[in-house]
A and B are shown apart, each in its own frame.
Chain A
Amino acid sequence: MEKLQSIDEFQFLHDRLIAERDPDSPTIIIPAGTCGQASGANDLIRIAKRELLNKKYTDTIKIRITGCHGFCEMEPSILIEPSGIFYPKVDAKKMVHIVEAVAKGDVLKDLLFIDPKTENPIERQADIPFFKKQVRTLLCRNEKIDPIRIFNYIENDGYSAMARAFSSGNPRWVIEEIKASGLRGRGGAGFPTGLKWERLANQPNGNGKFIVCNADEGDPGAYMDRSLLEGNPHSIIEGMLIGAYGTGATQGIIYVRNEYPLAIKHLLIALRQANQLGLLGEHILGTGFSFDIKIVRGAGAFVCGEETALIKSIEGKMGEPRQRPPFPVEQGIHGQPTSINNVETWANIPIIIGLGAREFAKVGTKENTGTKIFSLVGKIKNTGLVEVPMGITIDRIVNEIGDGQIGQRNIKAVQTGGPSGGCIPAGMFHLSIDYESLAKAGSIMGSGGMIVMDEHTCMVDLAKYFMGFLKEESCGKCFICRKGTQRMYEILDDISAGRGTLEHLGLLEELGSVVKDASLCGLGQTSPNPVLSTLRYFREEYIEHIQKKRCPAGVCKDLITYVITENCTGCQLCLKSCPAAAIRGEKKERHRIDLQKCNKCGVCKSVCKFDAVETR
């Protein structure tokens, strides 16, 4: 790769790549993000390559290995271009047939996605309800781009927004565009990005300024940042280049957690390629503007996603938040002005500059513009990453895109915003998703985790789980957060074990409100949310645990007993699987559980094919 010397040279390269592209030649797209690889995408890649070589299709059919497309429930999946045909849950055998079908231009009808409502096969990905009802501004780029090929990105109009920003010759214009777009920080707090950048740009330059991409995504069940980093690392780099140009920053840092090896690998490749092409480093594209990005790996502390703790961690100190003000835009890394933005915020920047602020702001609501990616997980049919316009109702995400409940169990709540978020009961699913209304309901937008819960989820157990997470992940610096989370966990543990009293509920609320008020950083201030919101909407569940010593969802071990009902056929499967040897019974006769020996592991219930094991 030769270094590009000017914006014109870049434009020429871009035009050449597009001219060389043959839009009609068939391409097999294999999503192989971390999730795809875990479900077997690597095997599919190997088989597809072997088939193409063996059958000499290499000149006619292309393979593109991309990041995650978002439909996790159907992985590993295959997408065919340009026809847009989608094959879900592909295995090795199916892969061979698919390659053959692509060569012939056929569609394999019996491998297609079946619409669960109409039971008709759906050919094209764009017609599948899961995809059809989303607005995939960011995620749709994942399927077009091979993350380790920079030319692939440029061919899809990558770095064009950067070229546009550079050729404007006016950094202020960039900031005005971002301000006009109304983009708000996607990390959770929703601070207007343009305003943050303006403050950074207004800081005296001194010894340089920093911009940071916060990729320390630690919420359990949330992985939208990972999929963006893995699937489209250049868009983050481009966003940071535009940001640096607008704010006058001289050094960029991507703070990514070490638990994301594939994201780090793709980022390192992308940075190297951008450097080789002269898009990073000194005197970028002959504009006299210099900027470089380095990667700092997070060592696994959840609190390091908090910006002041993140700064400490980058400086090589212990990840502990500090008092704001001074805000990082005034005093950040090594005392220099620093702007920290979330991965998804950075990914939105090239889109805003490319489309224009006004076009971007048309999506979403007036106060909440653009799209937001949620990771929809839990007790729902279509799990995966969904990208929707801001202001859409929860009901549409859960019931239309997610396709609602599994089986007969009614959905009772969604948990948004990760451990710092709260639960929103099914009765409030008409709520629109924006920063303000979620905060009003006692939850937060957070970075976009959305966990769906049904009747088999115990709210006390859920609050206990998140509190257990937080008591371990609190940095421990401020006393009220460290002890407050420990004590809340202790009380929740008591309630779930049947030792709770009604006074505990008042104490939980009182303690929760103080932890919220008096904690130093965002982690502490939001940590009681899981407890307070479940207490607010599901108080009767708590009371049932305390007064009747009963867990209505059948989750809290100390309050349930396993019973074998008349449905038992005497197949002896549970008897053989019981680790405590607590089940007795003859073949073809109803079995019984010895409650003295039963350790309530639940294996019998999960192995029973006749739904004969119940919790009471």
Chain B
Amino acid sequence: MITLRINGLPVSVEEGTTLLEAAQFIGFPIPTLCHMEGLTPYGACRLCVVEIGEEARAKLVSSCTYRVEEGLQVRTTSSRVLKARKMILELLLASCPQSKTIQDLASAHVINQQRFRQEYEDCILCGRCVRMCEEQMAAKAIGFRGRGEKRSLGTPFDKNSEVCRQCGGCIYVCPACELRCTYTTPEQAICGGCQNISPPCIEKEMFHDTMCYMDPCVACEIKKD
């Protein structure tokens, strides 16, 4: 067993446990996006960063990939961590505003501004689908290609993959397209944020449970464009 301190609290876990698992074990929530139980940790979204080490040597690491070390000091909500998390969420919101998962994360972290030029991307390249396809479905039908801004996801040469069984696992795990906001179609709406807009763009009475706290509602902004 390895003993470390998370936010000052001692915790003993088995060797090989990640910081994320250890923190969840004693009940400190850490937001995640690319992480998914059952898939190998990837460390791509950087939302789960935590601060480790002391003073000058303190640094941020992704808790989903970092393994516990004896005597490690971990802070899951230091100001440095929160600043990074908020900026990452702001960037996510600027690129992929339709995702319900991202909207929820953003509202939970009280992101009330978005200072970048709005983009509407469908994929945040978190790699959940790639790992799902390879590790759980044993198909390896999709993968990453390119680097930097040209990085993208798909089947080889964008042709129908022979190994794809069309199981839909990739769609199921996608945080960008699962529960996608349906803009202003009330019958399908799941977010309810639109009713906070003034003047309201849809009939308010259609919504009883407000789930989305986005202000302004990005979905409505899209509609306007």
Q: What is A's interface to B at a CB cutoff of 8 Å? A: 301, 303, 318-319, 322-323, 325, 470-480, 482-487, 490, 503, 507, 510-511, 513-514, 517-520
Interface residues of B in 57-93 (CB under 8 A from A): 59-62, 65-67, 80, 83-84, 87-88, 91-92
- What is the CB-to-nearest-CB distance from B154 to chain A, in angstroms, rounded to a whole number? 14
- Complex Cα spacing A319 to B46, Å: 19
User: Contact at A514–B115, with CB atoms within 8 Å?
Assistant: no
- What is the CB-to-nearest-CB distance from B85 to chain A, in angstroms, rounded to a whole number? 8
CB-CB under 8 A from B80, the residues of chain A are 517
User: Contact at B43–A478, with CB atoms within 8 Å?
Assistant: yes
CB within 8 Å for A518 and B49 given contacts A472-B149, A482-B149:
yes
CB within 8 Å for A503 and B115 given contacts A472-B150, A479-B91:
yes
CB-CB under 8 A from A510, the residues of chain B are 83, 87
CB within 8 Å for A476 and B66 given contacts A482-B125, A483-B95:
no
If over half of A's interface residues share one DSSP class (helix, strand or loop), that class is named, otherwise mixed; here it is helix
Q: Any chain A CB within 8 A of the CB of B170?
A: no
User: Contact at A520–B147, with CB atoms within 8 Å?
Assistant: no
CB within 8 Å for A514 and B84 given contacts A479-B44, A483-B91:
yes
CB-CB under 8 A from A503, the residues of chain B are 115
- What is the CB-to-nearest-CB distance from B121 to chain A, in angstroms, rounded to a whole number? 10
User: Contact at B149–A476, with CB atoms within 8 Å?
Assistant: yes
- Complex Cα spacing A472 to B147, Å: 7
- What is the CB-to-nearest-CB distance from A598 to chain B, in angstroms, rounded to a whole number? 28
User: Contact at A487–B66, with CB atoms within 8 Å?
Assistant: no
- Complex Cα spacing A503 to B113, Å: 13
Counting chain B residues whose Cβ lies within 8 A of the other chain, the interface size class is 35 or more
CB within 8 Å for A490 and B116 given contacts A476-B125, A514-B87:
yes
CB-CB under 8 A from A476, the residues of chain B are 125, 144, 146-151
Interface residues of B in 33-50 (CB under 8 A from A): 42-46, 49
CB-CB under 8 A from A478, the residues of chain B are 43-46
User: Contact at B91–A318, with CB atoms within 8 Å?
Assistant: no
User: Contact at A303–B147, with CB atoms within 8 Å?
Assistant: yes
CB-CB under 8 A from B83, the residues of chain A are 510, 513-514, 517
Residue of A303, A322, A472, A490 touching B117 (CB-CB under 8 A): A490
Interface residues of B in 114-132 (CB under 8 A from A): 115-117, 124-127
CB-CB under 8 A from A319, the residues of chain B are 147
User: Contact at A323–B61, with CB atoms within 8 Å?
Assistant: yes
CB-CB under 8 A from A474, the residues of chain B are 147-149
- What is the CB-to-nearest-CB distance from A466 to chain B, in angstroms, rounded to a whole number? 13
Top 4 nearest A-B pairs by Cβ distance? Answer: A476-B151, A323-B65, A514-B87, A518-B84
CB-CB under 8 A from A514, the residues of chain B are 83-84, 87-88
Residue of A323, A471, A472, A484 touching B66 (CB-CB under 8 A): A323
CB-CB under 8 A from B147, the residues of chain A are 301, 303, 319, 472-476
CB-CB under 8 A from B87, the residues of chain A are 480, 510-511, 514, 518
Give the nearest-CB partner of A479 in chain B.
B45
- Complex Cα spacing A475 to B61, Å: 18
Q: Which of A319, A471, A472, A487 has the most CB of B within 10 A?
A: A487
- Complex Cα spacing A479 to B91, Å: 9
7 additional A-B pairs beyond A480-B87, A483-B95, A519-B46, beta carbons within 8 Å, are A323-B61, A475-B147, A480-B46, A482-B148, A487-B91, A513-B83, A520-B62
User: Contact at A518–B150, with CB atoms within 8 Å?
Assistant: no
Residue of B44, B60, B149 touching A486 (CB-CB under 8 A): B149
- Complex Cα spacing A507 to B150, Å: 24
User: Contact at B43–A520, with CB atoms within 8 Å?
Assistant: yes
- Complex Cα spacing A477 to B94, Å: 18
- Complex Cα spacing A470 to B148, Å: 8
- Complex Cα spacing A478 to B46, Å: 7
- Complex Cα spacing A472 to B151, Å: 9
User: Contact at B148–A475, with CB atoms within 8 Å?
Assistant: yes
Interface residues of B in 155-203 (CB under 8 A from A): none
- What is the CB-to-nearest-CB distance from A18 to chain B, in angstroms, rounded to a whole number? 50
User: Contact at B49–A479, with CB atoms within 8 Å?
Assistant: no
User: Contact at A487–B146, with CB atoms within 8 Å?
Assistant: no
- What is the CB-to-nearest-CB distance from A371 to chain B, in angstroms, rounded to a whole number? 29
CB within 8 Å for A471 and B149 given contacts A323-B61, A476-B125, A514-B87:
yes
CB-CB under 8 A from A470, the residues of chain B are 148
A–B Cβ pairs within 8 angstroms, 13 of them = A319-B147, A475-B147, A475-B151, A476-B150, A482-B149, A507-B115, A514-B83, A517-B83, A517-B84, A518-B84, A518-B87, A519-B46, A520-B62
- Complex Cα spacing A590 to B66, Å: 69
- Complex Cα spacing A470 to B151, Å: 13
CB-CB under 8 A from B45, the residues of chain A are 478-479
- What is the CB-to-nearest-CB distance from A544 to chain B, in angstroms, rounded to a whole number? 22
Residue of A472, A479, A507 touching B124 (CB-CB under 8 A): A479
CB-CB under 8 A from A480, the residues of chain B are 46, 84, 87-88, 91
Give the nearest-CB partner of B91 in chain A.
A483
Give the nearest-CB partner of A520 in chain B.
B43
- Complex Cα spacing A397 to B19, Å: 47
CB-CB under 8 A from B60, the residues of chain A are 517-518
User: Contact at B148–A323, with CB atoms within 8 Å?
Assistant: no
Contact pattern, B 99-139, Cβ under 8 Å of A = 1, otherwise 0: 00000000000000001110000001111000000000000
- Complex Cα spacing A510 to B46, Å: 16
Residue of B59, B67, B127, B150 touching A325 (CB-CB under 8 A): B67
- Complex Cα spacing A353 to B161, Å: 56
- Complex Cα spacing A474 to B42, Å: 16
Give the nearest-CB partner of A494 in chain B.
B117
Give the nearest-CB partner of A304 in chain B.
B147
CB-CB under 8 A from A519, the residues of chain B are 46
Q: Which of B62, B87, B116, B146 has the most CB of A within 10 A?
A: B87
- What is the CB-to-nearest-CB distance from A377 to chain B, in angstroms, rounded to a whole number? 25
- Complex Cα spacing A475 to B151, Å: 8
Give the nearest-CB partner of B84 in chain A.
A518
- What is the CB-to-nearest-CB distance from A53 to chain B, in angstroms, rounded to a whole number? 51
CB-CB under 8 A from B94, the residues of chain A are 483, 487
User: Contact at A479–B46, with CB atoms within 8 Å?
Assistant: yes
- What is the CB-to-nearest-CB distance from A321 to chain B, in angstroms, rounded to a whole number? 9
CB-CB under 8 A from B116, the residues of chain A are 487, 490
Give the nearest-CB partner of A475 in chain B.
B147
CB-CB under 8 A from A471, the residues of chain B are 148-149
CB within 8 Å for A479 and B84 given contacts A323-B62, A474-B148:
no
- What is the CB-to-nearest-CB distance from B127 to chain A, in angstroms, rounded to a whole number? 8
- Complex Cα spacing A487 to B95, Å: 10
